[in-house]
Amino acid sequence: MTWISKSVTGLGLLFLAHACYSAYEHSALHSTSTASLSSTAAHTAITSTSSSLPIDISIETLVAVFTVCLGLVLGTPELRPIQWRVWAGQIEREGEAGFTNIDGQVDKDYVGNPFRVLESRPGFVDIRKQRKEFAEWVREGGGIDEAKKS
Amino acid sequence: MLTERELQISPTVQESVLHNTKVLTTLHNLTASLFGVGAGILGLESYPGFLFYFLFSLLTSVLVYAFRVRPGIIKEAQSSGSSGMQRYFRGSMELWTGGLIEGLSGFVLTWTLFYGLVRA
């Protein structure tokens, strides 16, 4: 997608520069020709330069603006769902692949599953079993003393 | 506007809201100065210039809707019930009229600049 948007934007900018130069040249030519033709009627010359741009330059400008606009829209990063359930579902289904930017790298502000800590935590500790083991160890006379003697 | 109760029932992700708003704002700022260039080349004055800006901003929003919002809605509609614009924005006006005021200053700036450049 990235080269499409860049090439479309570049093409539109090229058209826009050409249209701008054409309009500039037209206005310069028009003002000099009308000034040489009628130096007395200066008022009409001013009004005619501001109103008469050739139709092809106008169309080229409009097409160029639309093309650059299209290229910029194509270059925007993907929007993200704001509802928590949709967003979490997308993370579960697609993982990091759903949050890559145009260059194919994972976005910097991608946080991933916010409950990852909860999913990888250890299970509950069976405290009664541990107490039973401790009681057996005490009943046998304490492991450390025996270990020291033997 | 969402009430607190609705927010508790279906919570929103603040990072995604920020990301979407940032994308839209950047796009509107860029395109607004571009439209200024176009309006300056065309030599528009007063109301037609602002009308040009509003029309092309609306066109930008339509393009965003067609290329960025619509595919997500279609993809979601296959998996579950459709929810429309609520997937990406808190309200539909956020897309259509969100960047109009922010881009206006940049538009006027480049509009006057290119009007002066072309008709020097």
Comparing A30-34, A36-40, A73-77, the range with the smallest average pLDDT is A36-40
Reported as a pLDDT band with limits 50, 70 and 90, residue A14 is very high
Q: Decide if A102 touches B, using CB distance below 8 A.
A: no
**CA B5 from centre of chain:** 29
State whether B23 and A69 contact (CB < 8 Å).
Answer: no
SS3 B89: coil
**CA A28 from centre of chain:** 42
Mean pLDDT by 10 residues, chain B (120 residues): 74 80 88 90 87 90 84 68 66 78 89 86
CB pairs under 8 A between A and B: 117
B75: containing domain = 14-118
CA distance B114 to B52: 15
Instruction: Give the pLDDT score at B23.
Output: 86
Residue B23 lies in a domain: yes
Query: Minimal Cα distance from A59: which residue of B?
Result: B42
β partners of residue A100: A106
The answer to ipTM > 0.90 is: no
CB atoms within 10 A of CB A1: 10
Among B39, B62, B48, B58, smallest CA distance to B117 is for: B39
Reported as a pLDDT band with limits 50, 70 and 90, residue A63 is very high
User: Using CB atoms within 10 A of its CB, is residue A53 exposed (0-12), middle (13-18) or buried (19+)?
Assistant: buried
Query: Minimal Cα distance from A110: which residue of B?
Result: B15
Taking the CA atoms of chain A, what radius of gyration do you get in angstroms? 37
Considering its fold, how many domains does chain B have in total? 1
CA distance A145 to A127: 25
Among A116, A115, A111, smallest CA distance to A98 is for: A111
- Helices then strands (H, E): number in chain A? 7, 0
Query: Minimal Cα distance from B117: which residue of A?
Result: A24
Instruction: Give the pLDDT score at A49.
Output: 47
Mean pLDDT over A117-132 rounds to: 83
Instruction: Give the pLDDT score at B83.
Output: 55
Res A132 pLDDT > 90: yes
β partners of residue A106: A100
Residue B6 lies in a domain: no
Backbone angles phi, psi at A142, to 5 degrees: 80, 120
Residue B5 lies in a domain: no
Residue B9 lies in a domain: no
Instruction: Give the pLDDT score at B1.
Output: 57
Residue B98 lies in a domain: yes
B44's CB contacts (< 8 A; 6+ apart) are B52, B111
B58's CB contacts (< 8 A; 6+ apart) are B96
SS3 B119: coil
- A1 vs B39, more confident: B39
Residue B34 lies in a domain: yes
State whether A53 and B114 contact (CB < 8 Å).
Answer: no
Could you tell me if residue A126 is left (phi over 0), alpha (psi between -120 and 50 degrees) or otherwise beta? beta
Mean pLDDT over A60-88 rounds to: 85
State whether A86 and B42 contact (CB < 8 Å).
Answer: no
Residue-wise pLDDT for A87-122, tens only, equals 777 777 777 666 666 566 666 666 677 777 777 777
* Percentage with pLDDT > 70 across chain A: 70
